[in-house]
A and B are shown apart, each in its own frame.
Chain A
Amino acid sequence: MKICYYPGCTLKNHAKNFEDSTICSLNSIGVEVEELSRWNCCGTVFSLTTDDLIHHIAPIRNLIRVKEANYNKVMTVCAMCFNTLKRANERIKSDPESMDILNNFMDREEVQYEGDVQVFHLLEFLKDEIGFENLAKKVVKPLKKLKIASYYGCLLVRPKEIGFDDMENPTILDDLMEILGADSVDFPFKTECCGAYQTVDKPEIIADRTNRILTSAKDRGAQMVVVSCPLCAFNLDQRQKQTVEKYPEFKHIPVLYFTQALAIALGCPEETLRFDLNFIDPKPILKEKGLI
């Protein structure tokens, strides 16, 4: 099987650990990944104002690229890209007048966009196309006795029409971690916003959120937290530096992309895990559990 893949900007630099672990995991279960040969930034956020059509151009152009590559579906792993691409797509599909305006604006494109590309997330693919029970059979290194809290954040689950799990109590990541052999730890802050882009000019707000979210996961016994968004990862992992400055009693905890946990369980080599990009080193706990 071969799937078309849209990486998004951050997976090519700060979140290379997200990309490499995704590709290795998929290859190891026999899925080939074809990255779009040309793509642009999706814009990271979906425009919430009714008249702001211009900002839907960026995501829609990517969907045109998917058509040009002869696919009718595209996979993303970044929660923000997923949300922006899928939401812009749904917005345009439900409004033919806007679709015409956008197509006219993009009159140098050789392909017209007709709402005919489907956007999906890796988690949906693993659950619905591969099947968690089949994935379980491919696990070579079960994440035994590792207590993992799954953090969903906002954009995998909200709004309802876009998300692929329960908005208030999603379980897809927890289910995946269980399939991989880990003990999943439920905690009340799994869909609480990390503060997102406030990290740029108000990092002190992020310190509060990170403290609240991670302390709750730790109190429930988690030894690490998994995420699906490079912005959540930056706030929950890198911003632990500011968190401990503001809250000296705060205790560090490793934050991984869920694909890094997946890649470990599927036996991917350590160079694809790229732990050098994780701020809080997950190696000690992984060594303790005999996983690396």
Chain B
Amino acid sequence: MRINLSRKKIRDSFVDKVQELSGQNLLACYQCGKCSAGCPAVDEMDILPNQIIRFAQLGLKEELLASKAIWICASCLTCNARCPKGINIAEVIEALRQILLRNRKDHLKVEKLSDKEKEEIPPIALICSMRKFTS
């Protein structure tokens, strides 16, 4: 992947937005990688949790908002529990999803679920998925 850095991106309001929505100080991260080491979902992620934090520090908005990883994270909070700097990585990922969802870019297509799936899957899963993946 080719990544272009620029002062403009780093100073973009996107970085402030992520910090504000997540309530986290992105610059506290020193890239130890512990969040990614313990994340059960890394196998399926294109950008790993520690990279998400780095990308967010650098204002790499396009890469982050197009990533698959933000929809693979299940907010299990393992990363938060293990970060030696007390950063809530799951909150940062939630902020990224919210930036898209607040622009009506739903990830879950409820209408695509079959009647059988809707009957078989318990309400706890359906509601949860809608809360996380729709606006």
Q: Does chain B have a CB within 8 A of A168? A: yes
Chain A residues positioned under 8 Å from B122 (CB to CB): 10, 13-15, 230-231, 234
Chain A residues positioned under 8 Å from B72 (CB to CB): 198, 202, 205
What 0/1 readout, one digit per residue, does chain B (16-53) give for beta carbons within 8 Å of chain A? 00001111000000000000000011011000000000
Q: Closest B-chain residue to A208, C-beta based?
A: B43
Q: How many residues of A contact B (CB 8 A)?
A: 42
Cα of A199 to Cα of B113 in the assembled complex, Å: 12
Q: Closest A-chain residue to B91, C-beta based?
A: A48
Given A158-B81, A160-B81, A205-B44, are A196 and B123 also a contact pair (CB < 8 Å)?
no
Main secondary structure of the interface of A (DSSP, over half): loop
Q: How many residues of B contact A (CB 8 A)?
A: 39
- Pairwise interchain contact A200-B124, C-beta atoms closer than 8 A: no
- Pairwise interchain contact A199-B22, C-beta atoms closer than 8 A: no
* Contact residues of A between 58 and 90, Cβ < 8 Å to B: 78, 80
- Pairwise interchain contact A13-B123, C-beta atoms closer than 8 A: yes
Given A50-B21, A192-B40, are A197 and B91 also a contact pair (CB < 8 Å)?
no
Chain A residues positioned under 8 Å from B44 (CB to CB): 205
Chain B residues positioned under 8 Å from A80 (CB to CB): 124, 128
Contact of B81 among A8, A168, A198 (CB under 8 A): A168
Chain B residues positioned under 8 Å from A191 (CB to CB): 78
Contact of B132 among A9, A45, A50 (CB under 8 A): A45
Which 6 residue pairs of A and B lie closest in terms of their CB atoms, listed nearest first? A193-B76, A197-B128, A14-B122, A48-B94, A200-B129, A197-B129
Show the binding face of A for B, using Cβ within 8 Å. Answer: 8-10, 13-15, 41, 43-45, 48-52, 55, 78, 80, 154, 158-160, 167-168, 191-193, 195-202, 205, 208-209, 230-231, 234, 238
